[in-house]
Structure 1
Amino acid sequence: MARNTYNPKSAKSILKHGEALLGQSLRQLHPNAIIFGGKGGLGTSVEKFHYGYEPNSEAEPDFVEAGLELKCTPLKLLKDKSMAAKERLVLNIINYIDEAQKSFDNSSFWHKNKFLLLMFYLHESGVNPVDMIFKLIRTWKFPKEDLKIITDDWNTIHSKILRGKAHELTEGDTLYLAACMKGSKANAELRVQPYSDELAQQRAYSLKQGYINKIILQSFFDEGIQHQLRITPKRVEILKKKYSSEKVVKSTRSYKPQETFEQLIERRMKPCFGKTVKQIERKTHVEFNIGAKDLAYNICRAILKVKTKNIQEFENAGITLKSVVLEAKRNSIKESMSFPYIRFVDIVNQEWENSEWYRLLSSKFLFTVFRKSPDGDKRNMKLIKVFFWNMSYSDLLVAKELWEDTKQKVMIGDYNNFITTKTHKICHVRPHGTKNQTVLTPQGDRVQPKCFWLNNDYILNIVTNNIEDGGY
């Protein structure tokens, strides 16, 4: 299709032209189409073959006159054949030197990405990207409530750059907008930064996977948007609970001046610090299932006055909520913190930066800290503190050592000599669950499942550093 089949000054015209690809691959519409470069090359190919122009410089949106940035991003097929975001959406590379001189309104992120043309295609392993089918094509502007969080996220990233800490950036620093690693290997691309002689890993702005899933779900239910998304009725209900859930912040007027989302949550939770579960029940008029695994989440929902099963901002940001219970009379905990089973068949084909363990550790955590009651009654245990936390870059590097050791042992079929809590200062690997459970290995046999765990003394150190005066 030639360039003159759309108006480059009109976002509506550009979108309509893009919708010609819906249900088709780029090569079906343009038989001479080829892929350019590696990951991200499909977007370049769409620009060249479908829109008929040579890709422009990084500093400007792809369609400069319309202020519109084109992004192609993959969907994955789930076990029930539903479609969901395969990964985060990577945006533009951060130039630390230039960005240090900017405010949000004239930042490279906002200049380039305030108005997006999103083209979702179904990823198929081993298939050339130009042969993958587009399932959703739409434009996206950030809603006001989301933009507040995204602005705060940008300020968090910017603050680290200004303090000469660009080398310590992690995706867990922020909620919706992240600074993700950009490059084939962790140290393959290093960049200079202001206010420090230390080189920093190349990073790009990105929208987190949970936020992209929110866009997909909203598109699925918006009758005005054309799509070929396939989501089963059961999956629709799951997604409704996750992403159509109630928001904590109904309006940006909910914030106090200069207050972030994390600060708002902690402010609203604070009146219940020092109260027992029983007292919180009376205060919120909600009765809790005291034996439920998600008791801590349910208590948070009740205090925050969220009636749906999930908190929308938590789902959008991929926040991991973890409960910690201190002993009745001292600051100690018995248990380490477990994570989902290690998928042995997957870990052998992963690199650290795209591993499930890295994704979990580089997320934002919300710790809910309780203190046991001397009588052992869970309704008499007290909520001490709620706080957000994310793992530091230096600790992520230590956790990476454990992950690499685990991968190597899985590759040679050694499932009995993983690193233990006695030999690693942050985390370890051990079984979780009953002995009669088994999982598949790359060697084709089945073994007892294992999990990554964060050591209890590591967790205790995090908690004690965040509770005042030893807790209630």
Structure 2
Amino acid sequence: MSEQTLPYDKKSKDSILEHAQRMLGKTLWEMYGEARLLDTGKGSLGNAVEKYHFQYEPNSKSEPDFKEAGVELKCTPLKKASDGSMLSKERLVLNVIDYIEEATKTFDTSSFWEKNALLLLMFYLHEEGKLPYDLIFKIVRYWNFPETDLKIIRDDWTIIHNKILAGKAHEISEGDTLYLAACTKGSKAGAQMRRQPKSDKLAPQRAYSIKSKYVNTIILDSLNHPEMHKGLFISEQQKRKILKVQESAESVVRSISDYRESETFEQLIERKFSPYYGKTIAEIEKMLDVEFSQSKAMAYDVCKAILGIKSKKIAEFEKAEIAIKTIRLEANGNLKEAMSFPNINYKEIVKEQSWEDSALYEMFTQRFMFIIFRKPAVKNDKQVRLEKVMFWTMPFEDLKQGKILWENTRTKVAAGNYEHFIKSSENPVCHIRPKAQNAADTTEGAQGFQVKKMCYWLNREYVLKLINSAKKA
């Protein structure tokens, strides 16, 4: 079809959005019967929307889909929660990174920004067993990154870019960054490999992506705009939950002016904590005119008080999926306990096809904030001292040990062997042992019978070593 007969003006943002919203509440089958001929593989629905609805051939160009209007089209799935409510199914995957080309760019000339500055998001409801052309579009909208989010995204891009410049593209991890991640992209058995500058090592193919929890904030925002959605079901219980989350999440950064020159979000957090280093809980209470309960949540309450957060959650931490871990050193600086992670889901681990797609990989590559305290010689929670806070993601070399643990565990679970998992003496980084208090605390194994609950742990010596290294830095 010629440009003159397109059903929208490809140079007009308003016209493109208006045409896109004709898909609201509809399937491709309803709009374009011939779409039933499309490929049913991953990404086929997005390609079909481009071909049938917008009438241009799908491509992998580095420029936006609608170049003249500066608009990039992305189709992304919703999933149904147990009560039927529709939420984000996965991260939003953007463009593939050409390491050689991206190394020559600044943020403003990067492939990420040139392609994704303005996103046209078309959310469809994923339903198991249905073919792509039978899936209904529930949300169609534009998304501009708010100024405070864009500051974090710029810093995230810089972190990724610096690794590329250093010839370390093969060491990039999703946990390196907060909102903008570089996820592996390729076959399920492992990503394709690409050349990188300043290194002979091939790096896994990666694409820029927006983390799933951030995508949920876009969905929640859409609820406030009736013209953006149709048939978007959110149960009353879920609505109350959403409102509670919105009301209970407060931003640390209210304005770009909160940052000092060249300061990142994590540096801002560390700056806010530094005046309280070496202070006891009792002294921090006096300084902030607050009183902390002596509960397991005390560390998080201290964190919120120092950051000036009065709500239940920290908005930036939620969107960035930052996991807060409390570490309590003994009075002499030693660490008594290893660091625990969730229990192993035996039924799921045997279904995992690759390390990069595993639950453990996701856990170990997330971003952590450690809040480190030192206990007093005599037990007294109010005399515990705040030592330091630090952000951390497991280094590339250490992830190799995580992979060994995962492979060994998966093999043993598949064989019905639940008694001989890797111990801390057998792996320098991580191990498996029970977190349960007694033998009666069991769960269903992959074979259907009851077995003892086991969980992943980071070794005590490993955690202490990384804390001591951070103190010297």
Common fold by TM > 0.5:
yes
Residue identity in the other structure for 1:8 = K
2: CA distance between counterparts of 1:432 and 1:237? Answer: 33
Pick from 286, 291, 294: which aligns with 1:282? Answer: 286
2: CA distance between counterparts of 1:222 and 1:310? Answer: 24
Trace 1:399-418 onto structure 2 (pairs within 5 A). Answer: 399-418=402-421
Q: Is 1:380 paired with 2:383?
A: yes
Residue 117 of structure 1 aligns with which residue?
A: 120
Residue 263 of structure 1 aligns with which residue?
A: 267
Cα deviation, residue 37, structure 1: 6.8
Structure 1 residues 305, 47: closer, same or farther in 2, change over 3 A?
same
Deviations 1:151-184 (A, max 9, x none): 0111111111111111111111111001111111
- Contact persistence 2:372–2:389 (CA under 8 A): yes
Pick from 163, 166, 189: which aligns with 2:166? Answer: 163
Cα deviation, residue 282, structure 1: 1.6
- Contact persistence 1:214–1:243 (CA under 8 A): no
1: CA distance between counterparts of 2:224 and 2:424? Answer: 47
Cα deviation, residue 224, structure 1: 4.9
Residue 446 of structure 2 aligns with which residue?
A: 442
Residue identity in the other structure for 1:437 = D
TM-score with structure 1 length normalisation? 0.94
- Contact persistence 2:40–2:131 (CA under 8 A): no
Q: Is 1:24 paired with 2:23?
A: no
Structure 1 residues 442, 77: closer, same or farther in 2, change over 3 A?
farther
Residue 63 of structure 1 aligns with which residue?
A: 66
2: CA distance between counterparts of 1:379 and 1:35? Answer: 64
Trace 1:237-248 onto structure 2 (pairs within 5 A). Answer: 237-242=240-245, 245-248=249-252
- Contact persistence 1:425–1:458 (CA under 8 A): yes
Trace 1:209-248 onto structure 2 (pairs within 5 A). Answer: 209-242=212-245, 245-248=249-252
TM-score with structure 2 length normalisation? 0.94
Pick from 381, 385, 399: which aligns with 1:396? Answer: 399
1: CA distance between counterparts of 2:308 and 2:59? Answer: 48
Comparing 265-274 and 83-92, the one that deviates more:
83-92
Residue identity in the other structure for 1:344 = Y
- Contact persistence 1:167–1:198 (CA under 8 A): yes
Trace 1:282-361 onto structure 2 (pairs within 5 A). Answer: 282-292=286-296, 294-329=297-332, 331-350=333-352, 351-361=354-364
Residue identity in the other structure for 2:64 = P
Comparing 213-222 and 163-172, the one that deviates more:
213-222
2: CA distance between counterparts of 1:129 and 1:397? Answer: 37
Q: Is 1:154 paired with 2:133?
A: no
Structure 1 residues 130, 397: closer, same or farther in 2, change over 3 A?
farther
Q: Is 1:428 paired with 2:422?
A: no
3-state secondary structure, aligned to 2:187: coil
Residue identity in the other structure for 1:23 = G
Pick from 79, 96, 106: which aligns with 1:103? Answer: 106
Cα deviation, residue 185, structure 1: 4.7
Cα deviation, residue 310, structure 1: 0.5
Comparing 190-199 and 56-65, the one that deviates more:
56-65
Alignment gaps of 5+ in structure 2: none
2: CA distance between counterparts of 1:440 and 1:15? Answer: 49
Structure 1 residues 193, 44: closer, same or farther in 2, change over 3 A?
same
3-state secondary structure, aligned to 1:84: strand
2: CA distance between counterparts of 1:243 and 1:119? Answer: 23
2: CA distance between counterparts of 1:57 and 1:50? Answer: 18
2: CA distance between counterparts of 1:129 and 1:412? Answer: 37
Comparing 411-420 and 432-441, the one that deviates more:
432-441
1: CA distance between counterparts of 2:79 and 2:412? Answer: 29
2: CA distance between counterparts of 1:124 and 1:412? Answer: 32
Trace 1:56-95 onto structure 2 (pairs within 5 A). Answer: 56-95=59-98
Comparing 41-50 and 97-106, the one that deviates more:
41-50
Cα deviation, residue 349, structure 1: 1.7
- Contact persistence 2:190–2:356 (CA under 8 A): no
Residue 197 of structure 1 aligns with which residue?
A: 200
Residue identity in the other structure for 2:15 = S
RMSD of aligned residue pairs (Cα, Å): 1.9
Residue 466 of structure 2 aligns with which residue?
A: 462
Deviations 1:375-432 (A, max 9, x none): 1111110000001111111211220111122122222222222212221111112222
Residue identity in the other structure for 1:55 = P
- Contact persistence 1:58–1:92 (CA under 8 A): no
- Contact persistence 1:100–1:158 (CA under 8 A): yes
- Contact persistence 1:173–1:390 (CA under 8 A): yes
Residue 47 of structure 1 aligns with which residue?
A: 50
Residue identity in the other structure for 2:424 = T
2: CA distance between counterparts of 1:405 and 1:32? Answer: 48
Identity of aligned residues (%): 50
2: CA distance between counterparts of 1:181 and 1:76? Answer: 22
2: CA distance between counterparts of 1:399 and 1:88? Answer: 23
Residue identity in the other structure for 2:198 = Y
Comparing 417-426 and 230-239, the one that deviates more:
230-239
1: CA distance between counterparts of 2:189 and 2:279? Answer: 45
Structure 1 residues 22, 343: closer, same or farther in 2, change over 3 A?
farther
Structure 1 residues 463, 215: closer, same or farther in 2, change over 3 A?
same
- Contact persistence 1:186–1:201 (CA under 8 A): no
Deviations 1:346-397 (A, max 9, x none): 2222232222221121111100000001111111100000011111112112
Residue 6 of structure 1 aligns with which residue?
A: 8
- Contact persistence 2:184–2:191 (CA under 8 A): no
Structure 1 residues 233, 341: closer, same or farther in 2, change over 3 A?
farther
Residue identity in the other structure for 2:99 = Y
- Contact persistence 1:150–1:175 (CA under 8 A): yes
- Report how many residues are paired: 467
Structure 1 residues 236, 468: closer, same or farther in 2, change over 3 A?
farther
Cα deviation, residue 263, structure 1: 0.3
- Contact persistence 1:82–1:231 (CA under 8 A): yes
Deviations 1:45-81 (A, max 9, x none): 1101121211234211111121111111112222233
